[in-house]
Amino acid sequence: MKVTEGTKSRNTLPDIRATEIMAAAGARELHDGEVIIVGLGLPEVASVLAKRTHAPRLTALLEIGVMNPAPRDTPVGLADSRIFYRATCWSGFLDVMGMNLHRGIVDAGFLGALELDRYGNVNTTLLKQESGKIRYVNGSAGGNDVASLAKRLIVIMRHEKRKLPLAVAHLTSPGFVDGRSREELNLRGGGPSRVITDMAVLGFDAKTHAVSLLSLHPGIRLEELVENTGFSLHIPNDIPTTPLPSAEELRLLREEIDPKCVYLR
Amino acid sequence: MKVTEGTKSRNTLPDIRATEIMAAAGARELHDGEVIIVGLGLPEVASVLAKRTHAPRLTALLEIGVMNPAPRDTPVGLADSRIFYRATCWSGFLDVMGMNLHRGIVDAGFLGALELDRYGNVNTTLLKQESGKIRYVNGSAGGNDVASLAKRLIVIMRHEKRKLPLAVAHLTSPGFVDGRSREELNLRGGGPSRVITDMAVLGFDAKTHAVSLLSLHPGIRLEELVENTGFSLHIPNDIPTTPLPSAEELRLLREEIDPKCVYLR
Amino acid sequence: MVDKVKSVSEVVRTIPSGSHIALGGFAIARNLIAVVHELIRQQKRDLTVSQGVVGLDTDLLVGAGLVRHLIMGGGSLDRFGPVHCVNRARDTKSLHCEDYTSLSICFRYLAGALGLSFIPVKSLLASEILERLEAGPGAENVKRSKCPFTGEEYVLLRALTPDVSLVHVQIADREGNCQINGPRWENEEQAKAGRRLVVVAEEIVPTEYIQRSPERTIIPGHRVEAVIHQPFGALPTAVFGCYDYDADHLRLYVEHAKEPERFKEYLKAFVFGCHDHWEYLEKLGGLRRVEELRADPILGY
Amino acid sequence: MVDKVKSVSEVVRTIPSGSHIALGGFAIARNLIAVVHELIRQQKRDLTVSQGVVGLDTDLLVGAGLVRHLIMGGGSLDRFGPVHCVNRARDTKSLHCEDYTSLSICFRYLAGALGLSFIPVKSLLASEILERLEAGPGAENVKRSKCPFTGEEYVLLRALTPDVSLVHVQIADREGNCQINGPRWENEEQAKAGRRLVVVAEEIVPTEYIQRSPERTIIPGHRVEAVIHQPFGALPTAVFGCYDYDADHLRLYVEHAKEPERFKEYLKAFVFGCHDHWEYLEKLGGLRRVEELRADPILGY
């Protein structure tokens, strides 16, 4: 996740990066004893932070067939041998995605997204340029599977208007499509529960299944949020502020988990 | 396979056992380079004999998940660690029975039988006593799978009237049920091709799918065969004699493959 | 790391009568003897038991009258004899029995493990096994159907998801990461099909040992509810790489299993007469006997 | 024992244009580079390629214009960038592409490996991936249906059975018994789904080595048609336990892959300009470079 500065005042607290707030907010969404599937980047950083703080018995699975890795060096992706290190099991898609995810025992999926719309539908396949021209990107890999089958989905992404459109350019991974319930959609997993951006933590309304604001990060103004969101989202009367990472969380992130700032830039 | 002497003159050649003729006849049914699934006992003995003579590149699979074992000591069954020794692969049912047999790459299945009828249907589940009372035995295990899916099936068994009835007491593993073709029966495997007994080698008529006599073992009279068979079988005008094991085959069987006569009794 | 090591009696107390338990043994290899003895001592009744190739463990449970429904692919004690108690219960119709085959029961577990409610198979067709399933208690678990792409005829099998899957392994860590040596028959699919999963391990190793060869982890720890540490927990059946089967005791068992009255004597002496598996091992001949049976490190038996 | 060791050019000559080949790489790990270079040199055209997560190998084939139809679950070169050649071919509609997901493509291979002509899955529903499959060349491979036992809605997938499956492994014997170190993604299912199966091995070992740990044999020899012995055969992608990816060369590749003209220069220099993989390795920096990339025995990279 490469950070390119936009038009908004992301970083009002000079000592704390937006990515650090995101990682800490992500970690708080994970509970001790849960089984999660994580994508690389901030999801992995957040899961390691959770494991080193309140959730020591978290089980982290990677779709490629790796369980509970404890990398010594920062990997560049899922295919990097660095992320295989000190795992407790090496298997493959059939085991992780079949015998765990499809089996229904994965509590949370934790992924990034290219685009996410007001019903939590995710696009990782293509971008439509203003000219109407289509540019393909990576496709689903395990994204659609995780969004379809995990008990809940947590998405972590940059907060930009074009990345949060009313409807995604390609519905790669279903959320609450057209505002319908997961039962109506014949999907086993519970669907998206949180979207963690560099401006806010978002949730989903239990009735309308549309995105709603849960908390604003410190220093972010509501107008900024609205301006940078491509759809209208439910805003509560009292808007909580996302807690900052604790001193210990910051120390772990900076000194142990991503000291070279590969993902926390 | 415990040998209990019946009423027939099985062993006309004092120096060669009926089981040795069976093992050699069984070995001749296996061709070099083939992939076979074998049951324990004479099928395994015959496959080892084939491998040590004309078929060095035979691949032998055991349903439990063992490939190409080279046991040093005689095992008492498929679950005996002795038959796991020096295998080239240990896996399980899913691999052997699924990814090989069900995949359609097994050239021959080689099994024993409790009963076999005139269409090559096999019973390994139960026996009906003359009183009509039912006595259960072992069930199918991989028998039905092998009979359904192997390109051809070779059965090796004692030749007794009650073991070769007109119709089996329980159709565990299908041959040419009711004389129908395998296509009509929706079965992928080619069906039974040979039945090797201690009196003869039997085949199946290409049109009627009924058992026919291919060769009589040396010293066995046709009348004996007919008397000990529970159904009428097609008999050719010229009846070939089953070749005796060669001196080298006998040496291998007696000195190397089953020196303690566990299966060659 | 969660420490999941529990005693066998502790674990068996959590399995209610009426449960569906799946056993990971095969004939005379890696049977769940310590668990089965304790199930009998605690008199857990009306069990449904499923197993690929039924062995001594299931024969004991059926002989002790604890099993109402048996789902099996086959059964034998290899050359020591048939599963007398199971066969007798079938002969006298005191047991509901669903017969499958090695592959079809494995596919039912595979579907359960993968979270598929059904899976197709090309076995069973044109057999009396299928006819009997369709006419009996198995009717709700099989259905003939055609492939939507090729038109080929299949049997669709319902997934099998035991309440508790139990498997005997050579090596586990305290969290439940397991290694299995030798062939694994349907162990992986059966274990992962279970709603709950309990393993009995010959040896408990540190997690670092697991991390040295993670490709050998057949069952990952997070799937495991409890780890029972019971050396020689499968005797008189064999555990590859650990010990051979006890041929003398297997013969003694089969002699007793042939007759209901003598089977009761066996239970009295070797199950009810033992407080736990250690006492039972003493009856088998104790330290001296297990040392005789201990596996050669090269041969594995 | 059959000796199946063959050269890469010998094997590639047996793969006709128009074949469906399945590649066992994943992004920047264990890619079939030596084989793909030779496919390009021999100009095998109109290929169908399938792969779980498309990597450098498929990107090269597509960039070289040899692929007519691509069946994929996703694709990337991790943080080095996207698969530019594949994405560009899709943008310009010069490639038929069937998109799946990691699980659904694995299930299609699994069905192929098991000899099932179809298999159900609970992914894809309510997604545009499924809609596009139903509207395009994938229509004959997916069908919505219900479980006959539970009534639950599924997508049925047609089995995928490539003409030739190719997988890069760390260790094989001359007959083709293979060990894979590290995670195995869909390698086993993909390999066994193939009508033919070719492996590229970093190291050839005696069969006795295989017999010492037969539980590690992921692909048994009798399934394998040919074994290509090519050390560093996956460079610039990584082979766990053998060598790291060549980050410099991956960056150089991505820079060239961004532009069709520069990609041609890349092919000229590193594929057409090399007689075989040894010459290519020299261009990468030869012995000195591969020693820099050689894996630490503890870390595996």
Percent of chain D with pLDDT over 90: 99
State the nearest Cα–Cα gap between D130 and chain C, in angstroms.
17
Q: What is the pLDDT of residue A6?
A: 40
Q: At D260, which helix (H) or strand (E)?
A: helix D260-267
Most A CBs within 10 A among C2, C114, C179, C197, hence the mutation to make, goes to: C114
Q: State the average pLDDT for chain D.
A: 97
Copy the structure tokens of residue C7.
């005693």
Question: Looking at the predicted structure, is the pLDDT value of residue A9 above 50?
Answer: no
Quick check: B236 contacting D, CB < 8 Å? no
The answer for A81, left when phi > 0, alpha when psi is -120 to 50, beta otherwise, is: alpha
Question: Could you tell me how far CA D199 lies from the centroid of its own chain?
Answer: 11
Average pLDDT over residues B113-139: 95
Question: According to the model, what pLDDT value does residue B7 have?
Answer: 43
Contact status of D58 with chain A (Cβ, < 8 Å)? no
Whether there are 3 or more C-beta pairs closer than 8 Å between A and B is no
Mean pLDDT, chain B, rounded, equals 93
3-state secondary structure of A67: strand
Q: Are A135 and A129 in contact (CB under 8 A)?
A: yes
**Within chain C, where are the H helices?**
8-13, 33-41, 56-63, 84-91, 102-114, 128-135, 187-193, 207-212, 247-257, 260-267, 277-284, 286-293
Q: Does A105 touch chain C (CB under 8 A)?
A: yes
B82 in reach of chain C (CB within 8 A): yes
- Strand, coil or helix: A116: strand
Q: Which of C114, C116, C217 is facing A89, going by the closest CB pair?
A: C217
Interface residue D212 vs chain A (CB under 8 A): no
The confidence score (pLDDT) of residue A14 equals: 58
- Has residue B5 got a pLDDT over 80? no
- Would the CB atoms of B89 and D115 count as touching at under 8 Å? no
pLDDT 10s digits, A74-123: 899 999 999 999 999 999 999 999 999 999 999 999 999 999 999 999 99
CB of C150 within 8 Å of a chain D CB? The answer is: yes
List of chain B residues whose C-beta atoms are within 8 Å of the C-beta of residue C73: 139-142
The pLDDT tens digits for B145-181 are 999 999 999 999 999 999 999 999 999 999 999 999 9
Backbone CA torsion sign across A212, A218, A222, A223:
negative
Instruction: Return the number of other C-beta atoms located less than 10 Å from residue C9's C-beta.
Output: 16
Q: Give every CB contact of residue B150 below 8 A, 6+ residues apart in sequence.
A: B37, B101, B106, B107, B108, B109, B189, B190
Q: State CA B237 to chain mean position distance.
A: 26
What pLDDT is stored for residue A265 in this prediction? 84
Assigned token pair, B178: 């009711």
CB A21 within 8 A of CB A217: yes
Task: Indicate whether D28 pLDDT > 70.
Answer: yes
For B102-141, letters b (16+ CB in 10 Å) and e give bbebbbbbbbbbbbbbbbbbbbbbbbeeeeeebebbbbbb
- Note the helical H segments in chain B: 18-28, 42-52, 93, 143-149, 222-227, 247-251
Q: In the prediction, which pLDDT does A11 show?
A: 47
- Give the residue from B64, B230, B70 showing the smallest Cα distance to B157: B230
Of residues A57, A86, A188, nearest to C211 (C-beta): A86
**Residue closest to D117 by CA, chosen among C154, A94, C21:** C154
Q: Which of residues 175-194 of C touch D (CB under 8 A)?
A: 180-182, 184
Quick: pLDDT tens for D142-156. 999 999 999 999 999
Q: Which helix (H) or strand (E) holds A49?
A: helix A42-52
Structure tokens at C16: 């209610």
| Cα–Cα distance, B197 to B155 (Å, whole number) | 8
**pLDDT reported for residue A13:** 54
Closest chain A C-alpha to D11 CA, distance in angstroms: 27
Half-sphere exposure of A42 (CA within 13 A, CB side): 28
Q: In what order do the strands lie in the sheet with D153-158?
A: D118-121, D153-158, D142-146
Question: In chain B, where are the structural domains located?
Answer: 18-257
Kindly give the parts of chain C with pLDDT less than 70: none
Write down the mean pLDDT value for chain A. 93
Q: pLDDT per residue over A158-178, tens digit each?
A: 999 999 999 999 999 999 999
Q: How many CB atoms lie within 10 A of CB B262?
A: 15
C-beta of residue A13 within 8 angstroms of C-beta of residue A257: no
Averaged over D35-41, what is the pLDDT? 98
Between D137 and D106, whose confidence is greater? Answer: D106
Q: What is the pLDDT of residue B14?
A: 58
Q: Closest Cα to residue A164, out of A134, A130, A199, A188?
A: A199
Sequence-separated (6 or more) residues with CB below 8 Å from residue A170 = A123, A125, A126, D128
How many Cα atoms occupy the beta-carbon half-sphere of B15 within 13 Å?
6
Please count the residue pairs, one from chain B and one from chain D, whose beta carbons lie less than 8 angstroms apart: 55
Tell me the pLDDT tens digit for each residue of D165-206.
999 999 999 999 999 999 999 999 999 999 999 999 999 999
Do B67 and B61 form a contact (C-beta atoms < 8 A)? yes
The token pair at C200 is 């009995």
**Which residue in the set C148, C158, C180 is minimally distant from D143, CB to CB?**
C148
List the single residue in C with minimal CA-CA distance to D142.
C149
State the pLDDT at residue A80: 96
Q: Give the Cα separation of C100 and C186 in Å (integer).
A: 14
Which residue's entry shows tokens 């394998």? Answer: D224
φ/ψ region of A105 (left if φ > 0, alpha if ψ in -120 to 50, else beta) reads alpha
Q: C-alpha distances in angstroms, D114 versus A41, B158, C73, D214?
A: 35, 34, 19, 21
Using the beta-carbon criterion (under 8 Å), do C123 and B62 form an inter-chain contact? no
How does residue D211 score in pLDDT terms, banded at 50, 70 and 90?
very high
**For position B9, what pLDDT does the model report?**
46
CB contact under 8 A, D115 and B59: no
Cα distance between residue C155 and residue C153, in whole Å:
7
Q: What is the DSSP letter of B45?
A: H
Q: Is the dihedral of CA A48, A49, A50, A56 positive or negative?
A: positive
The Cα C145–Cα C141 span in angstroms is: 13
Tell me which chain D residue has its CA closest to the CA of residue A137: D87
Question: What per-residue confidence (pLDDT) applies to B13?
Answer: 55
State how far the alpha carbon of C259 is from the alpha carbons of B136, C82, C249, in Å: 15, 13, 16
Give me the count of residues in chain B. Answer: 265
CATH, range B18-257? 3.40.1080.10
Nearest in space to D10 (alpha carbons), one of D220, D200, D284: D200
Radius of gyration of chain A, Cα coordinates, nearest whole angstrom:
17
Q: Å from D266 to nearest chain A CA?
A: 22
Q: Is the CB of A80 inside 8 Å of chain D's CB atoms?
A: yes
